A and B are shown apart, each in its own frame.
Chain A
Amino acid sequence: MSGRVVVIGVGNPLRGDDGIGPAVVEALRGLVPDGTVLAVSDGEPARLLGLWQGADTVVVVEALRTRPARPGELHTLTAAEAAGHLRGAASTHAFGLGECLALAKALDRLPQQLVVHAVEVTDMELGARLSEAVRCALPELTDRVATSVRQAYERKRGP
């Protein structure tokens, strides 16, 4: 086990709520142990695969588009759930996380532990800021991600 813990914020900060992933990664600085890899990604699958290569635990932060939408609502998904749910209409990154998880599975490249923390989003206009609903969800989402990271290190230390 490498013990490597990687947090990936998927999204585009220039597109309103789509920037939630990178915003969480920014908010995590100083809150997680040194050595935790904090990365942002546009969701392109080959780069995501590269980012988590050799990692034991991967925590992904995503924007979710749902119908009907409950902007700001948080979801925590396992890799299997994410692969099922995100492949297709749910993710804002059509060719992104969902496809990446399915591809990783086909190539036996899923990390040992992978969890996805996601928030339902509403406004993804180019040049927009985070919507109020999503901005309000940022602290709790950040907290959930930090907790996942802490748990990863606890698992590493063992019982």
Chain B
Amino acid sequence: MNPRGTRVLRLDALARVEGEAALHLRVQDGSVTETRLRIYEPPRFFEALLTGRSHTEPPDITSRICGICPVAYQMSACQAIENACGVTVDGSLADLRRLLYCGEWIESHALHIYLLHAPDFLGRADVVELARDQRAAVERGLRIKQTGNAILEQLGGRPVHPVNVRIGGFYRTPAPDELQSLTEQLRHAREDALETVRWVAAFDFPDARCEHALFALRDPGRYAIDSGTPTVIDPAPGEIPLPGLEFPLSEFEEHVREEQVPHSTALTAALDGRRFLTGPLARYAISGRWLHPVAADAARDAGLGDPGVGAVCDNPFRSIVVRAVEVVQAVEEALRIIDGYAPPPRPAVEVPPSESVGVGATEAPRGLLYHRYALAEDGTLTGARIIPPTAQNQTAIEEDVRRAVQSRLDRDGSDAEDEELTHLCERAIRNHDPCISCAAHFLDMTVERT
């Protein structure tokens, strides 16, 4: 193809990306001049749906935004409402919430690693092709996922849109022996998870480096999942980053702002004016020192550096390795919680409404998920704001796509066919496991040249 002139790649839908997304890429005289990821944003619909409802409803309603990470939505919603009402849920109830969240991490990460992401590294079109010659690996992925599923069923009442969660806690809490029934499955999952780390660490990774600020919750003493303080670090290549800037969650929307960018009519998020990334790479950099020893050893052996001193993984293609380490972490954490579990005195604490605004944030598998609710005196919701990780990551993903394509074009782009570039774009996007929603999604991809 002639490298001069303009061509436009338009991917109407992205295969193996959860939900709906489309990418528009403009290449002009060998340079990528425009990268626009269109993300379908159901949260706006849900924000409108929530207004006028009772303060008890957000966990249930927002869990329907995403079938892959309903627990994340429930947990951020519960925390925001409880924050508004001045209630703290702690002790065994908080442990059970964290356990449920571990189940979701295990399930969601196993889905992404095995069914969506691994085929990219092994030259397979999809998991079906992968299953034909690496059946044992795919079976292992399904087993791990099933373990996460079992936690969700046991605690959440059912795996999709768990029904047992309410503000203040749960409708019903399990007896210790009910939780212990999960232990054996989790021990097997630990072996499978460690094998997963070894499997993905041996993949070939393209050279790539993302230069984004990294943003995650920080919960000193433990790997942040369901609580923590928003923290941002700016890693420099090869250096251990300085301790990050922290700010209270109540100031989230002052720091993370949706802004108009010159080349597009779309709004994109910036953190104090900068491009940033949330998700596994950010969590590993900010919370790595608090990984369980088994997970930390697995990370070191997998070539991710020493998480104990704050190592950073800045190759987005290696996010699959970080996800695998996080599966080990979630399994270890689940086993720890089950081992120490004593049933709470009540399945839920009272959360009487008050006229107030509350905020909540947790680490969804894909990154930081923020909720804010305004309540009237009787608990009626007068406003809702939901900022999911994929919306925050949009600019970083676009930049990763631009870099991936540009570096291919710089390497004698004259022979780069659209098909190859399309595949490259999809890979750069899949690195960040963008979850837009478990909505209906269509698979007709077109590549258009002009």
Contact = CB atoms under 8 A, between A and B. Distances in A.
B274 interface: no
Given A18-B440, A92-B440, A127-B45, A46 B111 contact: yes
Interface string A94-119: 11000100110011000000000000
A92 B438 contact: no
A25 to B, nearest CB: 13
Contact of A106 (B111, B115, B135): B135
A60 interface: no
Interface stretch (B139-147, B261-269, B283-291, B414-422): B139-147
B148 to A, nearest CB: 10
Interface in A119-149: 124, 126-127
Contact of B128 (A14, A42, A47, A99): A99
Interface in A8-51: 11-12, 14-15, 18, 40-42, 44-47, 49-50
B142 A46 contact: yes
B383 interface: no
Given A14-B64, A106-B132, A106-B135, A41 B160 contact: yes
Q: Which of B42, B67, B159, B442: most chain A Cβ within 10 A?
A: B442
B13 A107 contact: no
A88 B160 CA distance: 24
B439 A12 contact: yes
Contacts of A124: 440
B440 A15 contact: yes
B143 to A, nearest CB: 10
Given A12-B440, A126-B45, A106 B159 contact: no
B160 A45 contact: no
Interface string B1-36: 000000000000101101000000000000000000
A106 B129 CA distance: 8
B151 interface: no
B131 interface: yes
B255 interface: no
Given A47-B149, A49-B142, A99-B128, A94 B135 contact: no
A46 B440 contact: no
B438 A107 contact: no
Interface string B433-449: 00000111111100000
B69 to A, nearest CB: 12
A95 B18 CA distance: 8
Interface in B132-180: 132, 135, 138-139, 141-142, 145-146, 149, 159-160
B96 interface: no
A59 B440 CA distance: 20
Nearest to B61: A14
B111 A107 contact: no
A65 B438 CA distance: 17
Given A89-B442, A95-B16, A106-B128, A126 B159 contact: no
B127 interface: yes
Contacts of A45: 115, 127
B107 to A, nearest CB: 8
B120 interface: no
Nearest to A46: B145
Given A12-B439, A89-B442, A94-B15, A107 B67 contact: no
Given A18-B440, A106-B131, 16 more contacts: A12-B439, A14-B64, A18-B439, A44-B67, A49-B142, A91-B443, A92-B441, A93-B441, A94-B441, A94-B442, A95-B443, A103-B127, A103-B131, A107-B138, A107-B139, A124-B440
5 contacts: A12-B440, A44-B67, A46-B146, A94-B442, A107-B138
Interface of B: 13, 15-16, 18, 42, 45, 49, 64, 67-68, 110-111, 115-116, 126-128, 131-132, 135, 138-139, 141-142, 145-146, 149, 159-160, 438-444
Instruction: Kindly list the 4 A-B residue pairs having the minimum CB-CB distance in the complex, ordered from nearest.
Output: A94-B443, A42-B67, A106-B131, A18-B440
